[in-house]
Chain A
């Protein structure tokens, strides 16, 4: 009885169906555990948390430099910036926009640096639905390869104040 003291010799190994279930569950847990290291080596989508310390001011300066040297166009008054394939790209999260808009080449790999100059933000690429946390003080580097052409949006999915739902950005893949 679960509300009374158990019988004195309550310790006995599991038996019958219960024992089989524990075995099955254990095997399943092993599968769950192995999948992560397996994907780390064989899979193409991993969050390695690659990041560097950076002050908000220093990061903003890098973003400005990046925009200045690589700007190719403008939409809605927002600069569209095209990094060189294999090179570094910068994206700044701030209340309440993702800056600047990026233009990437399909199947090219970029080192995408994302950081915040104020609060925490959530980088959420739609409709691809890939999500990463963005923190002030951390330069979060995603080594990213767009595999499909199209126009993508970035929304913010970490609450960042009253204008949070207005915080959007753009990535164009050609």
Chain B
């Protein structure tokens, strides 16, 4: 690993690009000493701010995660019911919404400025977005911890939270929407000012797909949260439970597609940085992103498969749109990403056998290991369980059991969150311009987190196959009118989940401590390349 960043000089590309110039104001940009990429200093500020807030949310959600996991582990059964339900609400929102959205807005700013050699469209909008998101997140967290919103992140009506809970979510959503608009504004000025030639890079294309879906998603969010907010203040008399679920999942499910798009873009990005990989066929990769945009819209159906009020044909049609084309898109990326790495590694001479290229890959680089483990976990566990659970009739066996969290902890945690961690191992040196300490620990961290999440995911999935419900404080049913209880198989699986959760938490805490130490106290990187991983 002699080069910090393994970008091979690419003749065919530099030929086409007739050295377009950026549109930065004088003194408001720098050239990265490691990659040679241009960095808009305004964008850099907001990438930093968003990343910091993302990590804060990750820490808050992570502490809650450990506590609720230790409660679901019957042998430990740590919290009382009030705090179990409260922290489950808290965990879901801080992780799935705040950690992920702060990171994604940062990624959008990065992709549209640095990769297009453009300045950020509007500093004012970036501030507005950031302040609203922070205010909203704080409002939500304070309301939950104050005991005024024990409703889970889905807040299914007619379960009612304090109006500040809904207001906070609306603020976060609007703030995110402004951030997304800033991204589109940047795409526009980059195009107008001709800061790049030809088509946008693949990573920007993927980020654009994420942003388009995000807009649709956030509009659903507004459509459902605003009436619910009014209802919580007794201005509206009623919100229909079935309607709420339909529209809420227009927000809840599609936002997962945003996460997938962002994650896949990060895969391509990290594959390039760590191995010099390049897509075999741009048309295929881009086509797959287009499939995401076109075929995801009513996937809210996945959450209503055993609901009343919507019929079988509606369920079947909206589950598959007659063809699982969004699944196809993921399967395509699942090929093109490792294939690009394989091609790059073979080109460097690692040609031995079927997997010589993989064995020779930079597994000690946490950027690479996080990315590749994310790919494996997302594909082999997340993808397979997700499509199976989302099959209309099979959902009868799985709805609201622990199989559901088992599934999404291998998509949005083992997949997206792990990929974002890998990204951080480059964002901190390149954007914060600080070195990581304890690099040996950093090399181990992705494995620790991945192993923990895999054990936890499998434990949850199989416990759910025994029928163990999600969001449930006591599967012994002590004091209930009938006490069904679950067998030893379920208990073993919940134990597996608990052990996995502890390992994953250690991995998560390691990541946070290393990153915070680097960001605030790390050795400064000035006028030199980052120390290669």
Task: Tell me the residues in window 130-162 of chain A with beta carbons closer than 8 Å to chain B beta carbons.
Answer: 130-141, 153, 155-162
Task: Tell me the residues in window 48-101 of chain A with beta carbons closer than 8 Å to chain B beta carbons.
Answer: 48-51, 76, 78, 97, 101
B310 neighbours in A (Cβ, 8 Å): 49
Asked if A157 and B469 sit within 8 Å, CB to CB, the answer is: yes
B151 neighbours in A (Cβ, 8 Å): 159
Pick from A17, A48, A120, A126: contact of B156, CB under 8 Å: A120
Name B116's closest neighbour in chain A (CB-CB). Answer: A5
Pick from A76, A122, A138, A140: contact of B469, CB under 8 Å: A122
B328 neighbours in A (Cβ, 8 Å): 22, 25-26, 29
Most buried by B among A17, A28, A29: A29
Pick from B81, B269, B469, B477: contact of A2, CB under 8 Å: B269
Most buried by A among B158, B322, B465: B158
* Interface size bracket, B side: 35 or more
Pick from B196, B241, B480: contact of A166, CB under 8 Å: B480
Most buried by B among A13, A17, A156, A159: A159
- Interface 1/0 per residue, B289-315 and A, CB below 8 Å: 000000000000000111111111011
Shortest A35–chain B CB gap in Å is 7
Asked if A10 and B283 sit within 8 Å, CB to CB, the answer is: yes
Name A97's closest neighbour in chain B (CB-CB). Answer: B481
B109 neighbours in A (Cβ, 8 Å): none
Shortest A164–chain B CB gap in Å is 7
Asked if B272 and A1 sit within 8 Å, CB to CB, the answer is: yes
- Tell whether A122 pairs with B242 under 8 Å between CB atoms, given A33-B324, A49-B308: no
A158 neighbours in B (Cβ, 8 Å): 156, 400, 471
- Interface 1/0 per residue, A1-38 and B, CB below 8 Å: 11111111011111101100110011011101101110
Shortest A100–chain B CB gap in Å is 11
Most buried by B among A8, A17, A141: A8
A161 neighbours in B (Cβ, 8 Å): 150, 159
B233 within 8 A of A: no
B323 within 8 A of A: yes
Asked if B469 and A120 sit within 8 Å, CB to CB, the answer is: no
Roughly how many angstroms separate A137 CA and B239 CA in the complex, as a whole number? 11
Surface stretch bound by A, among B5-13, B169-177, B178-186, B209-217 = B5-13
Most buried by A among B152, B392, B469: B469
Most buried by A among B324, B340, B475: B324
Asked if A165 and B81 sit within 8 Å, CB to CB, the answer is: yes
- Interface 1/0 per residue, B55-89 and A, CB below 8 Å: 00000000000000000000000000110010000
B400 neighbours in A (Cβ, 8 Å): 122, 124, 131, 133, 157-158
B364 within 8 A of A: no
Number of interface residues of A (CB under 8 A): 79
Asked if A3 and B201 sit within 8 Å, CB to CB, the answer is: yes
A140 neighbours in B (Cβ, 8 Å): 307-308
- Tell whether A21 pairs with B335 under 8 Å between CB atoms, given A4-B13, A153-B484: yes
- Tell whether A135 pairs with B198 under 8 Å between CB atoms, given A6-B13, A29-B328: no
Most buried by B among A30, A124, A165, A170: A165
B128 within 8 A of A: no
Surface stretch bound by A, among B130-138, B219-227, B273-281, B415-423 = B273-281
Name A47's closest neighbour in chain B (CB-CB). Answer: B306
Name A163's closest neighbour in chain B (CB-CB). Answer: B81
Pick from A5, A10, A136, A166: contact of B197, CB under 8 Å: A5
B396 within 8 A of A: yes
B397 within 8 A of A: yes
Name B304's closest neighbour in chain A (CB-CB). Answer: A133
B465 neighbours in A (Cβ, 8 Å): 129
B2 within 8 A of A: no
- Chain B interface mostly helix, strand, loop or mixed? loop
- Tell whether A135 pairs with B242 under 8 Å between CB atoms, given A5-B198, A7-B16, A129-B467: yes
Roughly how many angstroms separate A35 CA and B322 CA in the complex, as a whole number? 11
A46 within 8 A of B: yes
Roughly how many angstroms separate A35 CA and B319 CA in the complex, as a whole number? 12
B191 within 8 A of A: no
Shortest B398–chain A CB gap in Å is 7
Asked if B201 and A18 sit within 8 Å, CB to CB, the answer is: no
- Tell whether A29 pairs with B327 under 8 Å between CB atoms, given A6-B282, A49-B309, A124-B467: yes
Pick from A26, A122, A129, A153: contact of B482, CB under 8 Å: A153
Roughly how many angstroms separate A133 CA and B475 CA in the complex, as a whole number? 19
Asked if A49 and B283 sit within 8 Å, CB to CB, the answer is: no
Roughly how many angstroms separate A40 CA and B483 CA in the complex, as a whole number? 34
B339 within 8 A of A: yes
- Tell whether A138 pairs with B309 under 8 Å between CB atoms, given A29-B327, A76-B482, A131-B400: yes
Roughly how many angstroms separate A2 CA and B207 CA in the complex, as a whole number? 12
B399 within 8 A of A: yes
Asked if B309 and A3 sit within 8 Å, CB to CB, the answer is: no
A169 neighbours in B (Cβ, 8 Å): 481-482
Name A132's closest neighbour in chain B (CB-CB). Answer: B306
Pick from B241, B281, B398, B472: contact of A135, CB under 8 Å: B241
Roughly how many angstroms separate A10 CA and B13 CA in the complex, as a whole number? 11
B115 within 8 A of A: yes
Asked if A127 and B481 sit within 8 Å, CB to CB, the answer is: no
Asked if A1 and B7 sit within 8 Å, CB to CB, the answer is: yes
Asked if B401 and A3 sit within 8 Å, CB to CB, the answer is: no
A119 within 8 A of B: yes
Asked if B482 and A168 sit within 8 Å, CB to CB, the answer is: yes
Asked if A50 and B477 sit within 8 Å, CB to CB, the answer is: no
Pick from B197, B395, B470: contact of A157, CB under 8 Å: B470
Pick from A11, A28, A47, A160: contact of B312, CB under 8 Å: A47
B477 neighbours in A (Cβ, 8 Å): 155, 165-166, 168
Roughly how many angstroms separate A10 CA and B10 CA in the complex, as a whole number? 14
12 of the cross-chain contacts (CB-CB < 8 Å) are: A4-B201, A6-B198, A32-B327, A33-B323, A46-B393, A49-B314, A118-B158, A131-B395, A136-B158, A138-B308, A156-B469, A164-B473
For the complex with contacts A7-B12, A120-B157, 17 further pairs of A-B residues with Cβ separation under 8 Å are: A3-B7, A4-B10, A5-B199, A10-B283, A21-B331, A22-B335, A36-B319, A46-B312, A49-B308, A50-B311, A97-B481, A122-B469, A126-B486, A129-B466, A131-B397, A133-B304, A169-B482
